[in-house]
Amino acid sequence: MRFDTSKIENYLESNFEMSLFRASLENLTNKDQPLRFNNFSYSMRELYRHVLDRLSPDDQVKKCDWFKPVFDENGKPRRPTRRQKIIYSIRGGLNDEYTKDKLKIVIDELLSEILESYNLLSKYTHVNEATFNISDEEVNEFSFNVLDYFLKIFSLISDTRHSIFSRLHQHLSNELTSTIISETRSEIDILSQDSYIEGVEIYEFEVLGIDSENIYFAGNGNISASLNYGKGDDATEIVDDFDFDFQCFSSVHSPTVILISSESISIDNSNWFEDKDVVSEVSTLQMESDNSSVDF
């Protein structure tokens, strides 16, 4: 029974996480160690803890409006619970009402599945007759289960976050188009006497992160612009496309209100200055345009 470990590596980011994962797997190769499977399981549970802490820092979890502290017997607040950290890793500061009513994603159902996988993962860390000095066949079977539970936890978190963010795509597209069309873009405006944005298309976007307050986006797309020179019978129009990059964010309290500043949109007009023929043509058109507007 083989397991594709690269699927788990896709969810690991730091060198430490990757090293811990590979060291965990190394435990399985030491066939002279009767605790090899237990050591593997324990280190995998530690890896789970580190990845979850990265996805859900305690200070950010505590800042969420939906967070309710749990107190110990002395009345001191405990760390956020595993359940709360999983909730944060999925939706950040988004509240339950928005997630369930607007996005149609029921977190409780996912939580049950994730926590069940964690309990099964944790079960194998205990040393008892059933897991001590077990056979190669059992090591293969049990380690496959551990890896599968680990993968299931983070794939569920990742897939749900993707569903949340993909449903914001249309709002992002609308706000971005409105911002670009409504404001003068100097990168395009300098290329002609009059310029007009005719269309905006987002090629791709990604969520850079979500915390207790905001969702952060970045992406790229294409702008179709009309560049106009001269007047009347001498009028000339050139329609060209320009690639652009952008960054923006929205509040977890109003996720569909995408906030984009003009400065966070970068339009690439370099082709106009790299192509000497185009530059020459534009210069000629601008000169003709200037002459056509002189009064005698």
Domain segments of the chain: what residues? 6-166, 169-292
How far, in Å, CA of 4 to CA of 136, rounded? 19
Span between the terminal Cα atoms of the chain, in Å? 89
pLDDT, mean of residues 251-271: 86
- pLDDT for 1-26, tens place per residue? 578 999 999 999 999 999 999 999 99
How far, in Å, CA of 211 to CA of 164, rounded? 14
For residue 12, the one-letter residue type is L
Please tell me the pTM assigned to this model: 0.75
CB atoms within 10 A of CB 83: 14
pLDDT at 53: 96
- pLDDT for 79-104, tens place per residue? 999 999 999 998 899 988 888 887 78
- pLDDT for 117-147, tens place per residue? 888 778 888 888 888 888 899 889 989 988 9
pLDDT band of residue 296 (cuts 50, 70, 90) is: very low
pLDDT at 92: 92
- pLDDT for 194-235, tens place per residue? 888 888 888 888 888 889 999 898 999 999 999 998 887 778
Q: Is the distance from CB of 103 to CB of 164 less than 8 angstroms?
A: yes
Q: Is the pLDDT of residue 285 over 60?
A: no
Q: What are phi and psi of 79, to 5 degrees?
A: -60, 155
Torsion angle of C-alpha atoms 96, 159, 110, 11, degrees rounded to 10: -110
